[in-house]
Structure 1
Amino acid sequence: MKSKNDLLLVLTVESVVIGVVLGFIIRPFNPSNDAISLIGFPGEIFMQIVEMMILPMIISSVISALAQVRACDAGQIGLMTVIYYMITTFLSTFTGIILVSSIHPGDPHLIHMLGEGTLDDTALSTLDTFLDQIRNMFPENIIQATFQQVQTNYVAVKPKVLKASGGNGTSEKPIMKPILEYTNEMNVLGLIVFCTGFGVILSVLGEQARLMINFFIVLDAIIMRWISALMWCYPIGILSLVCKNIVDIDNLSETAQALAMYVVTVICGLMIHSLLTLPLLYFVVTRRSPFDFMTGMLQALATAFGTASSGATLPVTFRSLEDDLKIDRRVTRFVLPLGATITMCNNNSCINRFRFGTSWSRYHINSAYNCRTSS
């Protein structure tokens, strides 16, 4: 098993490197749009298969995990997970704000040519985003939550005003009115809340619900066995995605020049948060070296880099934590989906959002281990 995991890790890392090399080799030939589509087609199918597995994986993993622990333990794990992610979110946001204020990423030539622009009056406020998350936690239709979620949007409305003469009229300047719309995106947060309550009640019922508990345990085993077989397709899919993304960039040199300071800012944020803040926090809480965990998560990091998808990285993180790092599966099956959802729902900082795409799994290592050692 160890040799297979090592081979899969090597293949995943090599797929990223080969994808980058092939992308730069193919670029000078200026392939057509059809050729670029064919290059990315295996990766497209790969991502669709992975996303197909996310819903059953979340449902089976959360319910089966919570059904096998006491309700008080589940509450403790959930509370510690939320607190931990709030702390790391604050630290990452603080780091991003400091770096942006210090480095000032952005190409001054573009600002000179295009102008500085203005803020959008219709942009969602922090309150709108917060209320949307609360609404999504309690979906009115659990079936609808599997493919849609609520989001606040603003529409222009011409308000009626009373003229001085006493008649009705309309003002020339429309006002922006908030409305609730459904977007075609899985409501992961609502599903996790529902599955959490479902799993805790199964745990409370105990032997009375043994048949249902065994059903979700077996379902979870089936899904994870399917995902284990799918793991061997990851290198091909990642290679295709990386190669296609590099070939598809227009004016690579100009784009790199325009985004140079932004890239520097992001890399600095990644280095500080991933190599200083999180390891230090991990050491303070557990008094253990974090580097063993970082080494065990190399495949998840390579997958996150190649796919830029938390959903595609989640199965790899499950496998790395449970098989390589020997973390209790009852902890990982609850902490990982919850942690991914909490981090994805954060919109405080551009640096924080970019950071999640490449290193979110490291947070799960620390969170899962902290919950395990404290329970």
Structure 2
Amino acid sequence: MTEALGTATPPTSMRLLLKGRFGWFFAGRTVDLAGSSMTTTALALAVLQASGRAGDLGIVLAANLVPTLVLLLVGGAVADRMSRRTLLISANLASGALMAALAALLLAHRYSLTYVALLSFGTGVVGAFTSPALRGIVPELVARDGLQRANALLATSQNSARILGPVLASVLVSTVGGGWAVAVDALSFWLAALAFTRIPGATRPPAARQALWRDLLDGWSVFRSLHWVVVMTVGFALGNAFNVGPLNVLGPQVIAGRDGATGWGFVQAARAAGLLAMSLVAVRMVLRRPLRDGRIWGTLSALPLLALGLSGRAWVVAPAAFLGGLGFSLAAITWESTLQQSVPTESLSRVTAYDDLLSFVAIPVSQLAVGPLGAAYGARTICTLCGIGYLAACLLPLLNTYVRTQHSPAGQPSS
């Protein structure tokens, strides 16, 4: 399926990577992820625990997502204008303060939908500036041929947090209350900010001062000029449209109807295990044509949808979800590394912001559309068709010559 799927590298090379500038970033990002992974679960349970109304939770979650999407492009422009290190420190301090205020409300049993939604809105605003800076700073800290290893390490910590965080959050909510889980997240933001202060100052020249709207237009020009980035982003948008709604909305319906709620939990655990397993393997994997190989591996993510449509039994869907997790993880790592290697550093945050926005805009459309479609034509039929559509979306970018032929910078990760 790929050329030179894996080659062992000296163990000292990873230690050197973690001892360098990237090490402090990795430490801060890991602490941040550990806290944040608990918040979604803790906040959902805490809001339901305090209000008893599912509608409140929908408002709180929407209040967080909307400002992130609206301000994402501005966040990318700001991250390209100023020190990304400074932006990350400031953003984490602000997020910690907002989470601490939210924790105080919950711990004092002074729940108010208005206040909780406003604080959630604030974290969404900060998130719009955090994401582009996080994606743009890695090439400042790691040599170009070590980016795949660095991104695989980051994916490992992220996927580990996805598995452990919700479990810990559930335990905290059921024992001492959701406020304490949110308080842990606040502390994690501040600890991450402290770790980020140990990152050396910016290594790139300061951006030329011009109006923010000019930066946004320049970022769009760079994004549009990179045809392979546009093609890949279109593929991601189509993939999200075919995958997210059917998997997260119809998946639980199909599995629970046959194997109960525990069956869907088993499927989710299998996918998380696949994500984590591949991120661990990718630390030592060599891909000579990472974009092409990432697209081919990414087709595995169609398997859970096809298994839902053709079988709908947890014992069939779970192995497919594990394989899908493997493919999704490697596709994400190769994409992140290729962007960081190929896009000019001074434009990277803006390009990734356009990539995120255009890729994610299809998600709410997918989530809203699949319910009526499933009711009209059958949930399993829609899952099957979307699995085929997702497969096509993964392969679509291979029509671009650069995607098919692009080589890794040195054929192997740096040592």
Q: TM-score, normalised by structure 1?
A: 0.28
Larger radius of gyration: 1
Which structure features the higher share of helix residues?
Answer: 2
Higher relative contact order (CA 8 A, sep 6+): 1
Which structure features the higher share of strand residues?
Answer: 1
Q: TM-score, normalised by structure 2?
A: 0.26
